[in-house]
Structure 1
């Protein structure tokens, strides 16, 4: 069997048709998450919490311990306002 040989002119036409078909073909729409800005406000306070019949003062976030859940997707921007109502400095670990 012999090899198929294309002339340079036919190769240019073939390449042009392939390029044109790729440019005109409707591209599939990909579900790309552009990102959302999510706003949270954390109020840090001391509250008396009873656990296992023992009451003690604990640092809470929005009245919760552990604090509230943060919901975010990759690409999101988080704006978190933290208001410290405790007399001492605090440290928050994400």
Structure 2
């Protein structure tokens, strides 16, 4: 009896994938220069939200990802995914 309920649940899950909700995920990137020191040498690097490399974006299939990029650096920056 228990096995039939499991089969029914799996069948319903396969027939109605639209029940999985897609989301809109919002991220904001603040691009700034940050001084870093390696091997006794200090230099500025471009960071995103204070991190290098930038932060991880989390999304699932069919999600919409909106990223607002604010460039605080005095020159143009290219973001590659």
Structure-2-length-normalised TM-score: 0.75
CA distance in structure 2 between the aligned counterparts of 1:53 and 1:75, rounded to whole angstroms: 46
RMSD: 2.1
Q: Deviations 1:42-74 (Å, cap 9, x if unpaired)?
A: 000011011233211100000000100011111
Task: Name the structure 1 match of 2:53.
Answer: 66
Q: Mind listing any 5+ residue stretches in structure 2 that lack a counterpart?
A: 1-8
**SS of 1:28 mapped into structure 2:** helix
Task: Name the structure 1 match of 2:12.
Answer: 28
**SS of 1:56 mapped into structure 2:** strand
Flag the structure with larger Rg. 1
Q: Mind listing any 5+ residue stretches in structure 1 that lack a counterpart?
A: 1-25
Tell me: higher relative CO, structure 1 or 2? Use CA pairs within 8 A at least 6 residues apart: 2
Structure-1-length-normalised TM-score: 0.66
Task: Name the structure 2 match of 1:82.
Answer: 69
Count, aligned residues: 70
Whether 1:50 and 2:34 are equivalent positions in the alignment is no
Q: Deviations 1:22-49 (Å, cap 9, x if unpaired)?
A: xxxx951337333111000000001101
